[in-house]
Amino acid sequence: MTTAPVLHVDPSRAGSPRVEPPRFEHHREPLGIGESAPRLSWTVLAGLPGWLQRAYEIEIADESGTVLTATGAVESERSVLVPWPGAELGSRERRGVRVRVHGHDGSASDWSPWSWAETGLLEAASWHAGAAAPPPELLGAPDGPAPLLRRDFAVRGPVASARLYVTAHGLYEVEINGTAVGDDVLAPGWTSYGHRLRYRTHDVTALLREGANAVGATLADGWYRGRLGFLGGKTGVYGDRTALVAQLEITYADGTAERVVTDGGWRCASGPVTAASLYDGEAHDARLLPDGWSSPGFDDGAWLPADVLDHDPALLVAPTGPPVRRTGTLAPVEVLTGPDGETILDFGQNISGRLRIRVQGPAGHTVSLRHAEVLEGGALSLRPLRDAAALDRYTLRGDGSAEEWEPRFTVHGFRYAQVIDWPGELEPGDVEAVVCHTDMRRTGAFTCSDPLLNRLHENVLWSMRGNFVDIPTDCPQRDERLGWTGDIQVFAPAASFLYDCAGMLSSWLADLSAEQAEVGTVPHYVPWIDLLFPAEPAAAWGDAAVIVPWVLHQRFGDLGVLRAQYAGMKAWVDQVAALTRKNLWDEGFQFGDWLDPASPPDQPGRSLTDHVLVATAYHAWSARILADTARLLGHDEDAERYAELASAVRAAFRDEFVTPSGRLACDTQTAYALALHLDLLEGPGQRERAGRRLVELVARDDHRIATGFVGTPLVCDALASVGAHDTAYRLLTQRECPSWLYPVTMGATTVWERWDSLLPDGSVNPGEMTSFNHYALGAVADFLHRTVAGLAPAAPGYRRLRVAPRPGGGLTHASAELHTPYGPASVAWTMVRTVAGETLTVTVTVPPGTVAELDLPCEGDLPEEVGAGTHTFTGPYRP
Ligand code: RAM
């Protein structure tokens, strides 16, 4: 039986299109932006089937509502990252923008609501603040006490508006008149401080009052001066003095303005935070908090004057993404007693964050909180933390009332916490876990009929939350938490689906370029710290310079990121080309297919797949992406040159590793995954043979995974590309170790670094690389989105969608939803099995302004493309 496709249009949504408030660049909160010509995007809500934009109009107004720019109708289908049509903005300028659209069908919208953006300080000359540094005697050794800084100031009349522009060498929290400014965590975040230091702009109008006012800050070492890195790490990476850079600008109702800046007039003293380390934790003695220190009238006569240090305002940059924030809280799911009678709280979920306690007890009593990701023998397993103590301590004020505390300058990766020396009975509600990470907008969701796959997806999501902590890190718990390039290179596609991470990753890429230019290659992690190993080129890691910008362009439609990264992309490919011999990258250090299941616990890089094969395959891939990028940017000569390079490397790969019939000299899942997915083979004959061999290899491994960081994101795609969906599903749904679902069966709530971070007997893997929160192997989530559910981009920014679900693995339904830059898209399929056969029903939602290519495995007279709207197709399943 064949059912003709039916078009459903929700009648309540029919009518003329509506435009949502426009967006500026990738900002969630466009206050203090750094772009003088911010690109604009808008989403159209249209109940009209097949709606496509024909033209847009933009109006830009100033604060008084005067329209400064009116584009009139611009014939264009663009609605994502449209060039700023107005005059370039200077510092502190506020503009409203609204948009109206016209459809090809003759429809027209009303004006959208106004959206407002305000620039920060765009040029160095706008900065008048010095770097106010507490005197050295208040600092102590790195990761020691966090001093306080303050000053009084007067507000001499009614205030129209006030802005605080603020950053620090170190971590800061600011208060005005006793109230915290903003809700950022770990501000200013971690950038390559020698090149770029982010500041934030806060609207503090409501915190000021006429007359006496005070501003205060707490300053911890953080990434600037605290210990960073593995194997003992390093302290003082960026300097040995922390400092606050703050500029408060007050605009009075009468139009006059005044500034309060960090200078030698600020006074400093030690405060309640007696130690603060990102790795080791924080110690807070509440008895040491000077009452009212950030309010006016406080006597700071005994405080020491701040030193004013040199700093370069040209390094100060506005954020391009959201800050780290508290994004949720978790109550303990169980209170456990450890083997020595210790009290351990289980929060049921591995997170990055910290605890908030409510405690009452005698003055001077100290409560300690120790964190771990897993238990071993019922006790906290601390070995995976390596050299990170993850221990917070709170000493009570003890004034008879309940005291609330949460550390402010540290973050831990944990699911369990041991509570040591709690005074009296620990009551439910006394301790909660606070989840902290970059506050990105959630955009993607996936679900299917297999609860284990759903939990795997949930674990990937939590590993993203656990590791997008201002920079994309490898792990949140041990003495590392570095921006490892290889990890985000493989995870970027999944990440770009789950959250809008374009702004955050663009910032990180700017640091990557800065470090690359300084150290002469793409370092292994960004920001780079010189530890024991030199910065040397390594395939799949260094290729992040090329692949991450490309992924952002594909997923967010951002050509600007390619433009910004182009020089670095080129420098990387050129550098590798110079390292190759006859186009094979066969010399020097490589991570290879890091941590494949065959690599011994103490040798994570001893994977089965030839490092030269991995490196050469990646070189071909990056050269090809670079050629495509050059073409998009109009660098035609480059486009030609890199296309030639890509095909020469591809040919060299085949000469060295591929037999004429399509077998590989290296007989591993990863080798075949690379060759197939990166299109390194010649003709259908080789592909078909290689595909068959990959299927054989997976079967030989009993359908267990045999790939590491490099092969894992590709193997299912490679299988699917040769039609071996069944094998891909068997890999995907395998539960025995090693597999994606093995950790799920072991109770994992995040993705592990190793396939067997926890061994089948419940003991922790004896290797050094044993994190329980590493997103790299979770890159497979992108396959769940694109192939299992069937929602993939077919043009940058999902301007075209590819809807090609491939049911299998016994699933009876799967769906994916995504807030694309054009609006919400979704694909949901269900399979009904009857004696007569299997019937597939697919429902597709296509955002206004886009078109979806359909490739559905069901019989019927199906269209090849559909336009905006919600469409349902039903027919006999034909795989
Ligand atoms: C480990 C990191 C990371 C990996 C490198 C090579 O230390 O955790 O995941 O990219 O090694």
Is the C-beta atom of 479 inside 6 A of ligand 1? no
**Is the CB–ligand 1 distance for residue 480 below 6 Å?**
yes
* Chain mean position to CA 277: 23
Q: What is the CA radius of gyration of the chain?
A: 28
Which of 228, 480, 489, 531 is the best mutation target for the ligand 1 pocket, counting ligand atoms within 8 Å of the beta carbon and taking the most?
Answer: 480
Taking the C-alpha atoms of residue 311 and residue 649, their distance in angstroms, rounded to an integer, is 46
CB 137 within 8 A of CB 204: no
- pLDDT grade, residue 14 (50/70/90)? low
Q: What angle do CA 791, 797, 799 make, to 5 degrees?
A: 75
Note the pLDDT of residue 491.
98
pLDDT at 8: 38
The H-or-E segment that residue 575 falls in is helix 559-579
Domains and CATH numbers, the chain: 11-119 (2.60.40.10), 124-321 (2.60.120.260), 326-438 (2.60.120.260), 444-789 (1.50.10.10)
The sheet with strand 267-269 has its strands ordered as 179-180, 171-176, 211-220, 148-155, 267-269, 304-305
pLDDT at 7 over 60: no
Sequential DSSP letters for 424-459 = SPPPTTSEEEEEEEE-PPB-EEEEES-HHHHHHHHH
213: pLDDT confidence band, cut at 50, 70 and 90? very high
Residues 378-432: tens digit of each pLDDT: 999 999 999 999 999 999 999 999 999 999 999 999 999 999 999 999 998 999 9
> Which residue CA neighbors atom 8 of ligand 1 most closely?
474
| Mean local confidence (pLDDT), 223-236 | 97
Q: Is 540 in the pocket of ligand 1 (CB under 6 A)?
A: no
Q: Give percent of the chain with pLDDT exceeding 70.
A: 98
CB atoms under 10 Å from CB of 406, counted, come to: 18
Query: Tell me: the pLDDT tens digits for 337-386?
Result: 999 999 999 999 999 999 999 999 999 999 999 999 999 999 999 999 99
Q: How confident is the model at residue 131 (pLDDT cuts 50, 70, 90)?
A: very high
Give the end-to-end CA distance of the chain in Å, rounded to a whole number: 16
For residue 474, the CA-to-ligand 1 centroid distance in Å is 6
Which residue has tokens 């300097």? 239
> What value does the mean pLDDT take over residues 758-762?
95
> What would the mean pLDDT of 167-178 be, rounded to a whole number?
98
Mean per-residue pLDDT, 225-254: 97
Nearest residue by C-alpha to atom 2 in ligand 1: 474
Would you say 61 and 114 are in contact if contact means Cβ atoms under 8 Å apart? Answer: yes
784 CA to middle of ligand 1, Å? 24
**Rounded distance from Cα 666 to ligand 1 centre (Å):** 24
Q: Phi/psi of residue 577, each to 5°? A: -55, -40
Q: State the pLDDT confidence band at 310, using cuts at 50, 70 and 90.
A: very high
Write out the H or E segment, with its range, that includes residue 654: helix 636-657
Residue 655 burial (CB count, 10 A): 11
Higher pLDDT, 642 or 533: 642
pLDDT tens per residue across span 273-282 = 999 999 999 9
| pLDDT tens for each residue of 445-477 | 999 999 999 999 999 999 999 999 999 999 999
CA angle 110, 115, 121 (to 5 degrees): 155
Q: Are 844 and 852 in contact (CB under 8 A)?
A: yes
Q: With a cut of 50, say whether residue 314 has pLDDT above it.
A: yes
Q: Of residues 857 and 9, which shows the higher confidence score? A: 857
Residues 472-490: what's their mean pLDDT?
A: 98
Longest dimension (CA), the chain: 89
Q: Give the tokens for residue 525.
A: 């992690």
CA-nearest residue, atom 1 of ligand 1: 769
How crowded is the C-beta side of 70, counted as CA atoms within 13 Å? 5
* Nearest atom within ligand 1 for CA of residue 484: 10
Q: What's this model's pTM, rounded to 2 decimal places?
A: 0.97
Instruction: Inform me whether the pLDDT recorded for 183 exceeds 60.
Output: yes
Amino acid identity at 103: G
Ligand 1 touching residue 591 (CB < 6 A): yes
Buried b (16+ CB within 10 A) or exposed e, 375-393: beeebbbbebbbebebbbb
Answer whether 772 contacts ligand 1 (Cβ < 6 A). no
- Mutational test site, ligand 1, from 769, 771, 777, max ligand atoms within 8 Å of CB: 769
Question: Looking at the annotation, which residues are catalytic?
Answer: 480, 753
CA 484 – ligand 1 centroid, Å? 6
Query: Which residue from 443, 343, 364 is spatially nearest to 23, judged by alpha carbons?
Result: 443
Q: What is the pLDDT of residue 787?
A: 98
Element (H, E) at 651: helix 636-657
Q: Tell me how crowded residue 136 is: count the other CB atoms within 10 A of its CB.
A: 10
Cβ of 282 below 6 Å from ligand 1:
no
Ligand 1 pocket, 486 CB below 6 A? yes
Considering only CA atoms, which of 838, 690, 715 is closest in space to residue 787?
A: 715
pLDDT tens sequence across 148-157 = 999 999 999 9
Question: What is the atom index within ligand 1 of the atom nearest the CA of 475?
Answer: 8
Digit-coded pLDDT (tens) for 567-615: 999 999 999 999 999 999 999 999 999 999 999 989 999 999 999 999 9
Which pLDDT value is given to residue 48? 87
* Concatenated DSSP letters of 597-619: TTS-TT-TT--SS-HHHHHHHHH
Q: Is 143 in the pocket of ligand 1 (CB under 6 A)?
A: no
Give the model's confidence band at 13: pLDDT under 50 very low, under 70 low, under 90 confident, else very high.
Answer: very low
